[in-house]
Chain A
Amino acid sequence: MEKTYNLGNSVSSISLGADIDTIGLAASRATIYKDGSATAVAHSVDATGDIANQEIGKSNDLKGSRLQVFTKIALTGSDAGLRAAEAEQLSGTYMLAGGRDGLKTYTHSTKDYVDPNVFLQFLVDLI
């Protein structure tokens, strides 16, 4: 069961922001899955991997969909021990706003380390 974000019944704009905390190279993509189709709605613009707070759609359009924020991180440097330590420490923080739940912050992304890469995935069901 995924975490949820309650959009409510209005037609307000829903916004998303992502803060990727790493010293590695990061690239993020946000995708909405609804009725069997995938639509990219936001992405990072530099290697911070952060997604600046931006509108991803109207609440009535997003209702019943699943939001995914996928981040690929490449860890730099030749020291495998330091890369492993950074893989342990890095994290993602995700913010949704505009719905009935107001501003809600999530930190529960999954993390998979395949040296030198780390893959973060944040999933939330928009209800």
Chain B
Amino acid sequence: MKKYIIFILLCAAGRAGAQVQTPTVSLKDLAVPSSPAFVITDITPTLVQNPATPKAFVLGVAQSYQQSGTGFPNNYSAEFTPYWWLKLHSRSVYNAQGIHRSKRDTTKWVTDPTAGLKYTSISTAFVNKDMIPDTAKTTQKVFAVGIHATLLKIYAKGYAQELGGSIADWHRAAQDEIDNNQKMLDALAKLGSDPKDSVERKKIIAEFSQKKTPGILENINSLIARKPLFNLDIAGAYSAYGVTDQEARTGRVGAWTTLSSYIPLSTQIDNKNYFEISASARYLSDHFQKNDLDQIVRVDNTDIGGKAGFSFSQLSIGVESLYRHTKGISGGSVRTIGIINVKLAENLYINGAFGKDFAGPNKLISAFGINWGFGTEKVDLP
């Protein structure tokens, strides 16, 4: 979904079958969530803390605990990447982008397919919410924790060499620029580093003349934004409900995985057109779900889906299929639909879907919508 969409102008749905039934799961739900703790508790927190240190995280939880007065942090959500908490002094653009020089030939650059692992993120949520589908409207103290990681990211042949070469070009150009700005460096050295001179220092630095580095940086940003040939993401989440003041029970447990492949349709450095194919799987165990007999039991859901399609800057078109197996409620079923997204103007998008729904052998689904928003995003497959 486009990041900045703020208003849905129109959303109309028609159906060629005899019965209307909105599917409770879509392929997007199967995709690996970036914040699994929020997804497993069905919350969309408006304020997510991003603590920069372990101390900030502990203080945030403690503050929420004190404010709630219930002995449980109330509506506290946080997401953090422990890598950023570590002062490793080994951070560099090379390890951030997952490239390094080949040990066999130091003139060659190679990628590290597991480099994304260091950005593994953790999400946590403390909420008071009614998660048990019984007749009582009481809320439970819900705690959830989740983890999200990119296990593998494999780029096309030559990517590392191109990125490593561009970074080397930038460094050479930056050294030349430092040479050419010697007068500015002299003025800075003369001024000193007293904080009271910071305004004067900023004036001097504003004179720093750049020639080649902005253009090279633009190329590097295009390379960094390039989608990988293969990408494997995983996520897991666990939630517990305080069913009484003394007893907590496992609520939901979930696991997600998505394997994606992006085949570029152009060799241009700023290419944004791809043939995309991906497969997703989700396992969700809910210990408090109603079965066909209206009893609250543990229900295990397994969903597997895939999609394939073309993604261009103004148009995306593809097909997605989803298989759902719900142990304890009903048998498996399949939903297959074609999807299209068209960018009409800078902030105006049309999307549509047509195909076979879960509901039965003759059930069709058709949907059409217009989204209006801000931003300059291209149209991606949903």
Q: Confirm or deny: A99 has a beta carbon within 8 angstroms of a beta carbon on chain B.
A: no
Query: A47-B170, A74-B217, A108-B193 are contacts. A38–B178 as well, Cβ < 8 Å?
Result: no
A38 touches B221 (CB 8 A): no
- Among A47, A117, A123, the residue within 8 A (CB) of B192 is A123
A25 touches B189 (CB 8 A): no
Nearest opposing residue in chain B for A28, CB measure: B178
B185 touches A78 (CB 8 A): no
User: Which residues of the partner chain A approach B95 to less than 8 Å between Cβ atoms?
Assistant: 23
| Residue interface bits B221-236, CB-to-A below 8 A is 1, else 0 | 1001100000000000
Nearest opposing residue in chain B for A36, CB measure: B186
Query: A46-B171, A72-B178, A112-B205 are contacts. A21–B91 as well, Cβ < 8 Å?
Result: yes
A78 touches B93 (CB 8 A): no
Rounded to whole angstroms, the CA-CA distance of A119 and B198 in the bound complex is: 12
A43 touches B93 (CB 8 A): no
Which A residues from 10 to 64 make CB contacts under 8 A with B?
19, 21-27, 29, 31, 33, 38, 43-44, 46-50
B186 touches A25 (CB 8 A): no
Q: Confirm or deny: B39 has a beta carbon within 8 angstroms of a beta carbon on chain A.
A: no
Interface centre among B175, B189, B202, by most A CB within 10 Å? B189
Query: A2-B192, A23-B96, A78-B221 are contacts. A29–B91 as well, Cβ < 8 Å?
Result: no
A89 touches B193 (CB 8 A): no
User: Which residues of the partner chain B approach A68 to less than 8 Å between Cβ atoms?
Assistant: 185, 188-189
A21 touches B93 (CB 8 A): no
B174 touches A72 (CB 8 A): yes
Query: Chain A, interface size: which category?
Result: 35 or more
Query: A72-B178, A76-B220, A76-B224 are contacts. A112–B89 as well, Cβ < 8 Å?
Result: no
- B interface SS class: helix
B189 touches A47 (CB 8 A): no
Query: A19-B89, A38-B182, A70-B185 are contacts. A27–B174 as well, Cβ < 8 Å?
Result: yes
CB B188 to nearest CB in A, in angstroms, measures 6
Q: How many residues of B contact A (CB 8 A)?
A: 41
Q: Confirm or deny: A8 has a beta carbon within 8 angstroms of a beta carbon on chain B.
A: no
Q: Confirm or deny: B4 has a beta carbon within 8 angstroms of a beta carbon on chain A.
A: no
Q: Confirm or deny: B206 has a beta carbon within 8 angstroms of a beta carbon on chain A.
A: yes
User: Which residues of the partner chain B approach A25 to less than 8 Å between Cβ atoms?
Assistant: 93, 167, 170-171, 174, 217, 220
CB A103 to nearest CB in B, in angstroms, measures 16
B93 touches A24 (CB 8 A): yes
Rounded to whole angstroms, the CA-CA distance of A23 and B87 in the bound complex is: 13
CB B280 to nearest CB in A, in angstroms, measures 25
User: How many A-B contacts at CB < 8 Å in the complex?
Assistant: 116
Interface residues of B (CB under 8 A from A): 52, 84, 87-89, 91-96, 167-168, 170-171, 174-175, 177-179, 182, 185-186, 188-190, 192-194, 198, 201-202, 205-206, 208, 213, 217, 220-221, 224-225
CB A80 to nearest CB in B, in angstroms, measures 12
User: Which residues of the partner chain A approach B175 to less than 8 Å between Cβ atoms?
Assistant: 27, 29, 43-44
- Among A46, A76, A110, the residue within 8 A (CB) of B221 is A76
B189 touches A123 (CB 8 A): yes
CB B95 to nearest CB in A, in angstroms, measures 8
B171 touches A114 (CB 8 A): no
A46 touches B168 (CB 8 A): yes
A47 touches B221 (CB 8 A): no
The 21 listed contacts between A and B (C-beta, < 8 Å) are: A22-B91, A22-B93, A23-B96, A25-B167, A25-B171, A25-B174, A27-B178, A43-B175, A46-B171, A48-B93, A68-B188, A68-B189, A72-B213, A76-B93, A76-B220, A76-B224, A93-B89, A110-B201, A116-B217, A119-B205, A121-B201
A77 touches B224 (CB 8 A): yes
B189 touches A31 (CB 8 A): yes
User: Which residues of the partner chain B approach A74 to less than 8 Å between Cβ atoms?
Assistant: 170, 174, 213, 217
User: Which residues of the partner chain B approach A121 to less than 8 Å between Cβ atoms?
Assistant: 188, 193, 201
CB B168 to nearest CB in A, in angstroms, measures 7
Rounded to whole angstroms, the CA-CA distance of A109 and B174 in the bound complex is: 19
User: Which residues of the partner chain A approach B87 to less than 8 Å between Cβ atoms?
Assistant: 21
Nearest opposing residue in chain A for B190, CB measure: A33
Query: A25-B171, A25-B217 are contacts. A119–B91 as well, Cβ < 8 Å?
Result: no
CB A63 to nearest CB in B, in angstroms, measures 17
CB A93 to nearest CB in B, in angstroms, measures 7
List of 10 A-B pairs having minimum Cβ-Cβ separation, nearest first = A27-B174, A23-B96, A48-B92, A47-B171, A68-B189, A29-B178, A110-B193, A47-B167, A123-B193, A112-B205
CB A118 to nearest CB in B, in angstroms, measures 10
